[in-house]
Structure 1
């Protein structure tokens, strides 16, 4: 069932009912707030509106001459036909002006006429005259006065010329009584109308905001965007962890936690992208900065190593490298050092526990040219021969041309998209930019997704129940997976030999590294 069109790119499919309900739930605060506001307006209108009271008089229209049944039936038919015409006379000045004078009302005859309504019940000779006023007793007096004066006027109108009386007689069958409760304002009705109006306005505003919001907020959003580019799959999502800055590797914080399981699922899905030729050299990138690609690179490498594979993580973001700083390793010796022939990969390779790391090295003035060079492809091929998997952390696709330049050196790209930050247009533009250079986009991962309900318990409870066992397993995981971080006053272990804290690079002027990074 198609409900609403929220364009990602031209040709995007319409949302189905579940998507429509999902974004209504996501925008429930707006809908609820305007619903409450509408209810408050209903209360305000009720409290500030002057109460109105209604009093009704009923008249019976008949003919004087009803000697036999035939004449009686004819008279009733005549009266039914005439009574509808009489209803128009009730508000005429001939009726209202004398009443205003008789009751000494502080209003004009036209103002009085607006207070009067008439009703003729179907197939009857009854005429109901209702008067609405702010004072209940005055409403009753006016209604009765109008009924009496109206009967006199009809008698005058229907009396034949020269006759002493009219054949039509109007009798008051029910006098107006003083109303006890006001007919308006109606509190319940006003509250209901206010609530419905508020909810309707809130829903409309939610739809408008959803239409204008181009950010990726679900896997289905990401799937629709990728479908427009030819169908790379969504390989997983990673839950938001507020402590990720203190625990770079998810398994270090909690080996059985939700975030660690998300990366294991991502690892498994990557293995199924191509069963016959699974990707070995995987470049992790994003459309724009600050989407968590470095965190995904590190944890993907850790997860692959946890599976028993030999893994090398390469920091190929030669503009704002952050892998080394995230893991507490040396950054100044690494990829660029090898590419310019100042060292071998074994000399600058560092250990991060279960996997190896090749840092960025000194930042060059021409990153795109270096990453598109034969030297880079040679380094990557040598790493692929040595390790089961090579994970490359790259620069964002859209701001710079570095990442597409290395397309011929990698098996495919994994695109990171950040929940509620990455726009649908950015995702599609990034995928197309990679496809334009013939690159393979393995899939995408939605990062920093808010945890639902209890983030500790996940799945079917596959985590230790007792705190003692949990702590023992947690300690074991730390011993196995925790990287050997460089402590203050000590140097990191590079290869199998101690490395100097500031490696010497021949005839190379260090380029100042730009501050910052995007690891989550």
Structure 2
């Protein structure tokens, strides 16, 4: 993966990254506002050697080096029991010497003999008082440790150069730091999560990914991709409910590509299936039938999913009389056909107890053969391939299969297993369809994506004028083609583009209502 791939993954998983970033920031805020404020007070000490008045420069330099070497060890004594036990007893603190030791820190400034003692406490006044007490006791302990045996004084002297003062603001928590750390941690966790999900995700996301997988698998081509529409439940038949939408155009491309699958023997009976249920095979079958009917061809949609039939429910047809009714000999196929105005439908009929046996019978082959002779195209909606054998048993009765793959849900393993199952029974797989594809993914694959809707000319301008256009007296002579009289004897009115344009110009001025007077031809 290169940088663009990583950026594409992060943009695809932006929702998860945003959620984790917000959660990280929320944790930082929670830690900030639930933590007990802590204050720090520090005292600074200067460490020196006591010498005679006649000490020369060399002795002072040697003493300075000695002090710098020793002061590192002094810092470890600051939190020792020799200091804390006395301070706890002197100040009568409600804590043990060990607890006080955890609140003391000693730091030495590099290449100096300055030592800083810091005490952390929940109360600012007590932090300053403890810090000064620790500094005084620490100085006495060091002098005692450095005093030679039998000597009255110690050569080492510790002087408090800066006593501790009461802190005005808490040292912890730090809201800005905590929020920044929470935000960065959440952002990093979101990025790791996105990359991990992408690595572990084996689903097919785009047409390009499906094409690359099928090429490596040696499988059929990708004949089309249908973009996801949140309004699918209201636009089930795309070519009817949203004529020029992206979904409708996707089905039209699928129809066109099917014509080039086998130009010598074009498939007539096409079975539409999918690896698993819930991948949109039924809606693809319905829209494919509607799209084929757009060309003026006679089309029949057959629902052979005898376990979970849904064609009748989607199209609002009667389900109880259909394919199973004809297969058991209670009616002829022509008697149970229903119409959706543009194409015919043979619903599933009553759900049988033995769907696989019915679909593998000679009666089904005879029914599909009769429909193939009657119609130009027969689209067969079948059960999914992997759960049951219903889809594969009709292989000898259809010309080929169209495998529907749902974007971001169907895995590569499921696609490969479905293809192997169909190939095992000698079925011809015409191609695959990527259903519910992301418009963003497809735009990234093709470089652009847009809705190409026809421009409205005279009809659009008339609709803008609305009720302001009415038939009046004949206008001055404008050459137009004569119109035929209508069957009811009424005049057939023709509104010319010139007159509509004039009406629009006056309407845009907003000065007065407009009445367009079209020329009337008998």
Query: Is the TM-score greater than 0.5?
Result: yes
1:488-517, Cα deviation, whole Å (9 max, x unpaired): xxxxxxxxxxxxxxxxxxxxxxxxxxxxxx
Where do 1:191-202 residues align within 5 Å?
A: 191-199=179-187
Where do 1:239-258 residues align within 5 Å?
A: 239-240=227-228, 248-258=236-246
TM-superposed deviation, 1:362: 7.8
Report the equivalent of 1:60: 47
Relative to structure 1, the CA distance from residue 225 to residue 385 in structure 2 (aligned partners, 3 Å threshold; closer, same or farther) is: same
Partners of 1:31 and 1:203 within 8 A in 2 = no
Tell me the secondary structure at the aligned position of residue 145 of structure 1: helix
User: Is 2:425 the partner of 1:437?
Assistant: yes
Report the equivalent of 2:292: 304
Partners of 1:23 and 1:210 within 8 A in 2 = no
Structure possessing the higher relative contact order (Cα contacts under 8 Å, 6 or more residues apart): 1
Q: Greater shift after overlay, 142-151 or 71-80?
A: 142-151
Partners of 2:45 and 2:158 within 8 A in 1 = no
CA distance in 1, matches of 2:307, 2:107: 84
TM-superposed deviation, 1:300: 0.8
CA distance in 2, matches of 1:55, 1:299: 78
CA distance in 1, matches of 2:291, 2:189: 48
User: Is 2:139 the partner of 1:151?
Assistant: yes
Report the equivalent of 1:489: none
CA distance in 1, matches of 2:76, 2:352: 94
CA distance in 1, matches of 2:325, 2:102: 94
TM-superposed deviation, 1:398: 3.2
TM-superposed deviation, 1:348: 6.9
Report the equivalent of 1:112: 100
Aligned counterpart in structure 2 of residue 20 of structure 1, from 6, 9, 19: 9
User: Is 2:63 the partner of 1:72?
Assistant: no
Partners of 2:43 and 2:135 within 8 A in 1 = no
Relative to structure 1, the CA distance from residue 268 to residue 152 in structure 2 (aligned partners, 3 Å threshold; closer, same or farther) is: same
Tell me the secondary structure at the aligned position of residue 13 of structure 2: helix
Report the equivalent of 1:260: 248
Partners of 1:37 and 1:198 within 8 A in 2 = no
Report the equivalent of 2:148: 160
Aligned counterpart in structure 2 of residue 459 of structure 1, from 443, 450, 459: 450
Q: Greater shift after overlay, 400-409 or 99-108?
A: 99-108
CA distance in 1, matches of 2:355, 2:462: 45
Partners of 2:302 and 2:378 within 8 A in 1 = yes
Relative to structure 1, the CA distance from residue 465 to residue 127 in structure 2 (aligned partners, 3 Å threshold; closer, same or farther) is: farther
Aligned counterpart in structure 2 of residue 41 of structure 1, from 30, 39, 58: 30
The count of residues paired between Structure 1 and Structure 2 equals 455
Tell me the secondary structure at the aligned position of residue 91 of structure 1: coil
Tell me the secondary structure at the aligned position of residue 27 of structure 1: helix
Where do 1:311-460 residues align within 5 Å?
A: 311-318=299-306, 321-323=309-311, 326-327=314-315, 352-357=340-345, 367-369=355-357, 371-372=359-360, 376-377=364-365, 380=368, 388-418=376-406, 426-448=414-436, 459-460=450-451
CA distance in 2, matches of 1:197, 1:37: 11
CA distance in 1, matches of 2:343, 2:234: 19
CA distance in 2, matches of 1:425, 1:315: 27
Relative to structure 1, the CA distance from residue 323 to residue 143 in structure 2 (aligned partners, 3 Å threshold; closer, same or farther) is: closer
Report the equivalent of 1:94: 82
1:244-299, Cα deviation, whole Å (9 max, x unpaired): 56665322212112321221122233344456665443211133445432322221
Report the equivalent of 1:6: none
What is the Cα-based RMSD across aligned positions, in Å? 4.4
CA distance in 2, matches of 1:344, 1:107: 96
1:56-82, Cα deviation, whole Å (9 max, x unpaired): 323232342473222222112111111
Runs (5+) with no aligned partner, structure 1: 4-14, 473-520
Partners of 2:45 and 2:115 within 8 A in 1 = yes
Q: Scaled by the length of structure 2, what TM-score is found?
A: 0.70
CA distance in 2, matches of 1:410, 1:347: 22
TM-superposed deviation, 1:101: 4.2
TM-superposed deviation, 1:305: 3.0
Relative to structure 1, the CA distance from residue 386 to residue 68 in structure 2 (aligned partners, 3 Å threshold; closer, same or farther) is: same
Tell me the secondary structure at the aligned position of residue 177 of structure 2: helix
Runs (5+) with no aligned partner, structure 2: 442-448, 464-522
Report the equivalent of 2:470: none
CA distance in 1, matches of 2:91, 2:356: 96
Partners of 1:60 and 1:173 within 8 A in 2 = no
